[in-house]
Amino acid sequence: MALAELAREVARTGDPQAVDYVFGGAGTEDTMRANEEAFRRWRIVPRMLRDVGERDLSVSVLGTALPAPLALAPIGVQTIVHPDGELATARAAAAVGLPMTVSTMSAFPLEEVAAAAPGPKWFQLYWPTNRDLAASFISRAEAAGFQAIVVTLDTFLPGWKPRDLQRGWQPFLQGVGIANYFSDPVFRSLLDAPPEEDPQTAIGTFVGVFTNPRLTWEDLEFLRSRTELPIALKGILHPEDARLAREHGMDAVVVSNHGGRQVDGAIATLNALPAVVDAVGGELQVLLDSGVRSGADAVKALALGADAVLIGRPYVWGLAAGGETGVLAVLRGLLAELDLTIGLSGHAAPGQLGSGLLVRDGAA
């Protein structure tokens, strides 16, 4: 099933609350549309007779050897679309050797998700107000075998999401997606009673520590001091922020607008990518997410300088439609299309791609 058709089927048959949560964006959802439209404005100009009989898509990203420059973006509360949630996604990702970026807001503790994913894996950190809790999350991720930390920066305040507001539904307030908090020793030490005995008080405590709008660049020194794992900052759109990430000892940036879920009217990630690459390319690795819907989209991002691309909503559509099997089908399809598009464009490896592969629509 084509991804667009899969999305329509999930939207038609899924639980309306979950559908709005997964498909929804900030405000008028202009940023969501802009993300996808940005890919349509670039066209691939294939080259011929280039000997692409043998292709090698393998790369190293965040110190992790990958079979292709693809990874799974962090998405929380996956049990709202399928009861196996992150466990099914982890198994599918491991089956094809791609890293799953496990969200702080997973519906299962990170240790359980890691056990289900014997392959490469990264941990996404929402930096809480409590530093000891942040350090605990990082320590747990290291102990569970995660190979990198991806810090999401753009959610220090919740975005204005009319679909969720209209329904008055927030899974976290139902206790879904906060398993990492409920299982954390530092978080539990903040409570008078265990979450199992008093879940509502525990949820209230979570609300109080989840977001931290007072963070500054100077706080990264603490983060860097807590781990030797590679650290990527996710949510970078401005080239000056990319330079600041480099100056503060980070290893990578993820050009992302949270899939259009935070700032309505924000720049599309593909449009932001070239300036970020110019600012730090070669010194930091640059990844991209938001709006990637095909292997061809991934090729365009790679040609504009991304070292790898993160896939988000499409694998959740697969999860909703068929659990682990559905995720696996989506990932295998994307990998196959990426391989074919690279080959058909006249290249044998991601490192051969460059901006000369592309023209703006109407310019050829």
pLDDT in tens, 27-74: 999 999 999 999 999 999 999 999 999 999 999 999 999 999 999 999
Predicted confidence (pLDDT) at residue 364 exceeds the cutoff of 80? no
Predicted confidence (pLDDT) at residue 266 exceeds the cutoff of 60? yes
pLDDT tens-digit map of 68-101: 999 999 999 999 999 999 999 999 999 999 999 9
pLDDT computed for residue 265 by the predictor: 98
Residue environment code for 203-234, b if the CB has 16+ CB neighbours within 10 A, otherwise e? bebbeebbbbeebeeeebeebeebbebbbbbb
pLDDT computed for residue 363 by the predictor: 59
DSSP state of 169: -
pLDDT computed for residue 47 by the predictor: 97
Please, which pLDDT band fits residue 1 given cuts at 50, 70 and 90? Answer: confident
CA contacts within 13 A on the Cβ side of 229: 27
pTM, full prediction: 0.97
Identify which of 69, 47, 72, 71 has the alpha carbon closest to the alpha carbon of residue 56: 69
Q: Do β-strands 64-66 and 59-61 pair in parallel, antiparallel, or remain unpaired?
A: antiparallel
Predicted confidence (pLDDT) at residue 362 exceeds the cutoff of 80? no
d(CA 239, CA 241): 5
pLDDT tens-digit map of 335-359: 999 999 999 999 999 999 999 999 9
pLDDT computed for residue 254 by the predictor: 98
- Residues 312 and 292: beta-carbon distance below 8 Å: yes
Mapped onto helix, strand or coil, the DSSP state of residue 70 is strand
Residue 274, phi then psi, degrees to nearest 5: -60, -40
DSSP 82-143: -TTHHHHHHHHHHHHTPPEEE-TT-SS-HHHHHHH--S-EEEEEE--S-HHHHHHHHHHHHH
Q: For all residues of the chain together, what is the average pLDDT?
A: 97
Mean pLDDT of 240-262: 98
Residues annotated catalytic, as ranges: 258
Mean pLDDT of 296-316: 98
d(CA 314, CA 355): 26
Joined tokens for residue 58: 């393998």
pLDDT computed for residue 167 by the predictor: 87
The CATH fold of domain 3-351? TIM Barrel (3.20.20)
Among the residues of 190-312, which ranges form H helices? 199-209, 220-226, 239-247, 269-280, 295-303
Residue 5, phi then psi, degrees to nearest 5: -70, -40
pLDDT tens-digit map of 120-158: 999 999 999 999 999 999 999 999 999 999 999 999 999
Between the alpha carbon of residue 291 and those of residues 155, 222, 254, 288, the distances in Å are 18, 32, 13, 9
Identify which of 125, 26, 67, 96 has the alpha carbon closest to the alpha carbon of residue 350: 67
pLDDT computed for residue 117 by the predictor: 84
Quickly count: other Cβ atoms within 10 Å of residue 159's Cβ.
19
